[in-house]
Structure 1
Amino acid sequence: MAYSVQKSTIATLVGVSLAMMLSACSSDQRYKRQVSGDEAYLETPALQELKAPAGMILPLQNSTYDIRFGNDKGAIGKALDIRPPAQALALLNGSRAQYSNGAAIMLVENTAGTHGLWGQVVRAVQADNFPIANRQDASQSLTTDWIAFNRADEDQQYRGRYQISVQPQGYQTAIVVKSLALEQSGSPVTANGEIQRYAVNVLNDVVSNLDKIQGELADARANRTIGQIDVQSGADDTGLPLLIVRAPYAQVWERAPAVLTRLG
């Protein structure tokens, strides 16, 4: 009995210690954006001029292999953020993405589907519950209110305001998300990396919803085109019964799961 009590006490202490460690780690998310491993490179001594012993003749110096000194004063050690820059995802057919001067841009080719693109963009913004402060349908532009972000790799969360617009550019149409303001804990953020990260994040969310909306519209158009599917009963060469469906393969394959579910 004494052994059982002692074992239970040890297990309880281990569980409490583990819970304390996890709660401590959960409040500090910096480890998710820091290098994990040896940081001995921070103690590397500075380069010095090579001094040859008396009487030794050194070969001629070749400047090709000179190690040039730089004046970079970027973050090092634990202060270095190793997360890669955010990248806009070209999810739409025939699209390409870029980032320039605080604006994340998605360029799509002009087709019959881009005629109602602005309305689709508004629906995509509303699908993510982004607050809209001002909307100008005539100029195809809107301004969001403060959008609160919730990222697991940040201790202090960010919030931002953005201008989202649809702009014709020759044979293409641009979906533009421009950063108007970015704050962290009430303080303005001016770091280009963070401005890019969150502007691209908003664009990716909008384009992801836009891709779903356009997919639903395409399915609806296809269903209207095909209308009723012609289904006939028949038999194969061995006399076993079968169904003959006269419709495109893609349409039949799309409806097959629902049909099989109804059949049990």
Structure 2
Amino acid sequence: MKFVNQLVVSSLAVAILSGCAGSAAERRQAKDDFKYLDVESTPPLVSSPDQTLEHYPDYDIPAGDYTGGIGKQVDIRPPQQVLELIPGARTEQKDGEVTLWLLTKEERDKVWETVKTLIADQDQISLAEETENRLETDWIVWEEEDEEETLASRYEIERFEQNSRYGFRISLIGWKEGGKELPVSRTNKERYNTFMTNLVTSRYDQFVREEAAREALELVKVIPLSMGKDRSGLPIIIARAEYNVFWQRVPELLPVMGFNLEERNQSQGTIKASYVAPDDEFWERVGTKPLGYSPESYTFLLGDLGNRTSINITDASGKPVTEDMLEQMLPVLAAVMKDDSATTTEEE
């Protein structure tokens, strides 16, 4: 499913389970036709007076007033499930509504702010009403390959406290198919309340991960560096930080030093970059001697040493640079890490 006009809600994919390939109707409905709907009721079985019928109740249909869809109205797609992306949160689903119970008020309010941020970031979502603890959206237009018509929906989003528990609820309150407003069915409630909940929890999970990454980088903003030797006795630079941490840091540092990133492969630990020497103002600011590197491509080779990371550099021909060139690099890297004004953040 997607918003109309290519609207992207979350970078984390929210899975919707679909059937086999084919038309939207084929994915939603049973394989065979619906001729069974035209079958007349079978008359009661009449036996001769001298016969005694044995009745077995195994297949009796229980008596009762049942309501629900039949034929094409029956949706055979697997139901959606709420993604468990908030540690400790409990999901409660009742009458098609989805309620998340959070462990603390602070966590519940963080989910609430996530919703408001998500809405503020998307031009196609607007609010019809807003109070301190309740949001009501205007019509949100969707397109989904499993639906034959363009859909639109409205939601009520609430935060509340009940019996010392902190709740967050999303409710589908309006429904359109092909531009025509229809009653909100239980099936649509169950499916699209879950879908919207997953969008919110996915965005929340994304925010939490980004915040944790920022905090981790702040803790190791200045990483101790030293010269060392690899197992073959060749010179290397050693960064006293874990590989995953230092990998996140390097793409911020190299462009500042004049290395324009061309290729990166984290699993192989390689970063290819072309060098253009910075101006004199840069070297005066960081307080080091200029690098004696030629304007060509270099490959930075990062190795995982457990709680440390090794750094080696090869030139355009694939040969390791000299020990002197590595020693030139060490103070520049250290100075750039300490120079907040020089560091730029590049998106991974």
Q: Is TM more than 0.5 here?
A: yes
Q: Which amino acid aligns with 2:143?
A: N
Secondary structure at the counterpart of residue 247 of structure 1? coil
Q: Residues 161, 38 of structure 1: CA spacing in aligned structure 2 closer, same or farther, 3 A cutoff?
A: closer
Aligned residue for 1:209? Answer: 203
Q: Which amino acid aligns with 2:239?
A: V
Q: Are 1:92 and 2:86 an aligned pair?
A: yes
Q: What whole-Å deviation, never above 9, does each CA across 1:116-170 have from its counterpart, x for those lacking one?
A: 443233112334442122333xx23322111112122222223222122333456
Q: Residues 127, 201 of structure 1: CA spacing in aligned structure 2 closer, same or farther, 3 A cutoff?
A: farther
Q: Are 1:155 and 2:148 an aligned pair?
A: yes
Contact between 2:226 and 2:237, CA under 8 Å: does it hold in 1? yes
User: In 2, Cα distance between the equivalents of 1:79 and 1:115?
Assistant: 39
Q: Are 1:34 and 2:54 an aligned pair?
A: no
Aligned residue for 2:183? Answer: 189
TM-score w.r.t. length of structure 1: 0.69
Q: Are 1:167 and 2:160 an aligned pair?
A: yes
Matches within 5 A, 1:1-264: 29-37=24-32, 46=42, 49=45, 66-70=58-62, 74-110=68-104, 116-129=110-123, 130-136=125-131, 139-169=132-162, 172-184=165-177, 185-255=179-249, 257=266, 260-262=271-273, 264=299
User: In 1, Cα distance between the equivalents of 2:110 and 2:230?
Assistant: 48
Q: What whole-Å deviation, never above 9, does each CA across 1:86-115 have from its counterpart, x for those lacking one?
A: 332222222232322453222332286556
* Paired residue total: 232
Q: CA deviation at 1:182?
A: 2.0
User: In 2, Cα distance between the equivalents of 1:80 and 1:117?
Assistant: 34
Q: Residues 133, 80 of structure 1: CA spacing in aligned structure 2 closer, same or farther, 3 A cutoff?
A: closer
TM-score w.r.t. length of structure 2: 0.54
User: In 1, Cα distance between the equivalents of 2:42 and 2:151?
Assistant: 38
Structure 2 unmatched ranges of 5 or more? 1-21, 251-265, 274-297, 300-348
User: In 2, Cα distance between the equivalents of 1:182 and 1:114?
Assistant: 27
Q: CA deviation at 1:193?
A: 0.9
- C-alpha RMSD of the superposition: 3.7
Contact between 1:94 and 1:108, CA under 8 Å: does it hold in 2? yes
Q: Residues 111, 242 of structure 1: CA spacing in aligned structure 2 closer, same or farther, 3 A cutoff?
A: farther
The structure with more helix, counted as a fraction of residues: 1
Percent of matched pairs sharing the same residue: 25
Q: What whole-Å deviation, never above 9, does each CA across 1:163-188 have from its counterpart, x for those lacking one?
A: 22333456653321122222333233
